[in-house]
Amino acid sequence: MRSNTLKLLVLAMAGTMALSPVCAASSPTTRNTIPATVDNRQEDWIVPRGNGRLNIGGIQVESQYEQMAPGFVTTVVRADKNNMATKKLNEACGAQKVSDAADGHKTIAEFGPYKIRSYKEGVNYWDGFGVQTLTFYFGMRYEGKTVVVTQIHKDGTVTSEKHVVQKGVITIHPTDMGTFSFRIIE
């Protein structure tokens, strides 16, 4: 699927990041697009290095870059609801809700979907960057609750895993990027 959407070139140089807009044709390595509704200031969608957190859609995201290959940066943006991958992810989440309800679980909050990507020198990498460690801060009001993390992968498969909120957070370790949705159940 080709897109005429403006793509962003993310450069990581000497521990600092600079942005430069680039019009790029889709290719196997540059498939990510930033939705037009997203403010393209770097602090709005790049997960900071060090102790910083990205605030997006009611949660905070932190990345531990130490386990990734050098030079990578991580971006998190709200997924375009009209994107086919987002639609497929939402359908899968809807089916999971029905299954969870049949098992006696109630959905109490939903976050996302978010496109999570890794870049190096302006090129989007779906995998091959090492292990990404992302911590999501949901807050103490969800302490002890289960978060269902659902991901649609590049090949279109959808996977889910469950995490229990401890000290207000969950941590995931994806080895490939995609679009993610978070649903808290009790």
User: pLDDT category, 18, cuts 50, 70, 90?
Assistant: very low
Q: 48 in a domain, yes or no? A: yes
Give the angle subtended at the CA of 126 by the CAs of 124 and 130, to the nearest 5°: 105
Q: 42 in a domain, yes or no? A: yes
At position 185, the amino acid (one-letter code) is I
Question: For the CA atoms of the chain, what is the radius of gyration?
Answer: 16
Q: 58 in a domain, yes or no? A: yes
Q: 140 in a domain, yes or no? A: yes
43-47, 62-66, 139-143, 170-174: range with lowest mean pLDDT: 43-47
List, in order, residues 6 or more apart from 28 with CB less than 8 Å away.
none
76, two tokens: 């998190």
Residue 23 sits in which domain range? 7-185
Q: 1 in a domain, yes or no? A: no
164, two tokens: 């229990």
Judge contact between 86 and 79, C-beta under 8 A.
yes
Distance CA 152, CA 92 (A): 9
Q: Is 175 or 18 the better-scoring residue by pLDDT?
A: 175
pTM of the model: 0.72
Q: 127 in a domain, yes or no? A: yes
Instruction: Calculate the CA 48 to chain-centre distance.
Output: 14
Q: Give the chain's domain count.
A: 1
Judge contact between 164 and 172, C-beta under 8 A.
no
115-119, 168-172, 176-180: range with lowest mean pLDDT: 115-119
Q: 34 in a domain, yes or no? A: yes
Q: 113 in a domain, yes or no? A: yes
Judge contact between 108 and 186, C-beta under 8 A.
yes
Q: Please name which of 47, 29, 41 lies closest in space to residue 128, comparing C-alpha atoms.
A: 29
